[in-house]
Structure 1
Amino acid sequence: MANIRLVALDMDGTLLNDRQEVSPRNAAAIRRALDAGVIVCFATGRGVQNVLPYAEQLGMSTPMITVNGGEIWHRPHDLYKRTAMDAADVLRLRRLALDHGVWYWAYATDGVYNRERWVEPEEDVQRKVWLKFGYYEENVRLLEQIRATAESWGGFEISNSSPVNIELNPSGVSKGAALLELCRLLGIDPSETAAAGDSLNDLSMIRAAGLGAAMGGAQQAVKEAAGIVLPGNNEDGIAHLIEQYVLGG
């Protein structure tokens, strides 16, 4: 296995425990990696506003991938690239949610909008910079119907961050594509990277990385794609990855 120079970490269900915390052992392992010159990079579906507090907590000034690759950051507060979603697509996806009566949310650069807090007046939708759209529905059959409709329209990268949601980015936008872009930017070969995650929005980067790692609680498709399966997010799985596979024990 190549020497690992960059580690890309999903957050929810991966780095963070179920209390949305970075455990002391995970935090210590990340700091050890950073001190050793390894680039540790958040690669998350979250918007940047919900990532920055963790970067500050861990003292990370490294690149970040947010909203499933919709934004790539040189470092916190220093944007490298943003890929926006067309406002017309956002309105179309929202109409699909309303037609089926399901919960929805959408990330814009100025915050998150959802079924309870939407843009008013609606004409202002065109004035915002949109990044990602999502649906939440525990009726899996209904969720599959929505996914099939969105797929039939084309133009979207469709994934999830949980078995009961769907996340949509513009076609070609993914964590994997963003990881490869970061590698080009930093002069790192993809074989020198490791990536860890638990959901379908992590599949592309797990496949792109030299070492793809699935969490113990990951969706089955993620485990099948990964080279290794780690302990779960409540069991310091990221510390295990860094200690055993990145720093070598």
Structure 2
Amino acid sequence: MTNIKLIAIDLDGTLLNSQHAIRPHTISVLQQAVEEGIHVVVCTGRGISRIRPYEALMELKQPIVAANGADVYYEAGHVGEKAYIDLKTAQHIFKTIEDIGIPFWGFTDAGEFIDGIPNKQEIARCLKIGVQSEDPKQLQAFYEQVKGWQDIELTSSASTNYEINQLGISKAYGIEKLCRHLHISLDEVMCLGDSANDLALFQVAGFPVAMQNAISDLKEIAKAMTTSNDEEGVAKAIECYVLKK
């Protein structure tokens, strides 16, 4: 295995347990990796406003890839790259959402919005738009409307949602941008994830590791498996493959 210089870690279903918390031992392992000179990067579909409350992560002072790669922080607190959804595309998405009546959310530069369409100025700075529904028929209706669009990236982080970014934007895009900035090869990247929005990154990272609770598409292309997010799978993988404990 190539010497790992960067670890890209998903949050929900991966670093966070079912209570949306990170255990102290896992934080300690992340700190050890940082002390070894390894970049420990949160790589998530969440917007930055939903990452900052995890103070232990912010205290690591590491790069962050947020909003499925649309919002990249090369250094802690310093924006490196932003990739907005095209204005007309975003307006089309919101019109489709209104027509179907499906609950929605997303992230702009101003923060998170939930079930309230942003004003035009904010729409022009949408990083990501998501829909969520416990009604499979409603979710399918949205998918049928947008699946053929040529100007979006459509993915999911749970069986009850779809997530939309500008065409070409994904976690892989964000990590590729970060790696170029840090002069790191993708072969030197270890990534950990569990959901469909991790798939693009798994396809380009040198050492993809699937959580035990991951979807089958990730497990099929992973180079290693670890235990579930409720069994500190991230810590175990880093200890085994990076810290060699």
| TM-score, structure 2 normalization | 0.94
* Residues 1-56 of structure 1: CA deviation (Å, up to 9, x unaligned): 01111000000110011111111121111011111111100001111111123255
Which residue of structure 2 aligns with residue 107 of structure 1? 107
- Pick one of 226, 229, 237 that aligns with 2:233: 237
Q: RMSD of the alignment, in Å?
A: 1.6
Structure-1 separation of matches of 2:52 and 2:75 = 10
Q: Bigger shift: 88-97 or 140-149?
A: 140-149
Structure-2 separation of matches of 1:54 and 1:151 = 34
2:204 aligned partner, one-letter code: A
* Residues 189-218 of structure 1: CA deviation (Å, up to 9, x unaligned): 111110011111111111211110111111
1:51 aligned partner, one-letter code: I
Structure-1 separation of matches of 2:120 and 2:28 = 48
Which residue of structure 2 aligns with residue 71 of structure 1? 71
Q: Bigger shift: 45-54 or 8-17?
A: 45-54
1:160 is the counterpart of 2:159: no
Structure-2 separation of matches of 1:113 and 1:59 = 26
1:163 aligned partner, one-letter code: S
Structure-2 separation of matches of 1:93 and 1:139 = 19
Structure-1 separation of matches of 2:15 and 2:91 = 33
Deviation at 1:76, TM superposition (A): 2.2
Structure 1 unaligned regions, length at least 5? none
Structure-2 separation of matches of 1:34 and 1:189 = 18
Structure-2 separation of matches of 1:58 and 1:105 = 24
Structure-1 separation of matches of 2:71 and 2:39 = 18
Which residue of structure 1 aligns with residue 219 of structure 2? 223
Structure-2 separation of matches of 1:55 and 1:154 = 38
Distance verdict in 2 for CA 1:79–1:124, change over 3 Å? closer
Which residue of structure 1 aligns with residue 192 of structure 2? 196
2:47 aligned partner, one-letter code: G
Which residue of structure 2 aligns with residue 87 of structure 1? 87
Structure-2 separation of matches of 1:63 and 1:57 = 10
1:41 is the counterpart of 2:37: no
Query: Which 4+ residue blocks in structure 1 deviate beyond 6 angstroms?
Result: none
SS at match of 1:13: helix
| TM-score, structure 1 normalization | 0.92
Structure-2 separation of matches of 1:74 and 1:165 = 28
Deviation at 1:247, TM superposition (A): 1.1
Count of residues in correspondence between the two structures: 245
Structure-1 separation of matches of 2:57 and 2:149 = 41
Which residue of structure 2 aligns with residue 18 of structure 1? 18
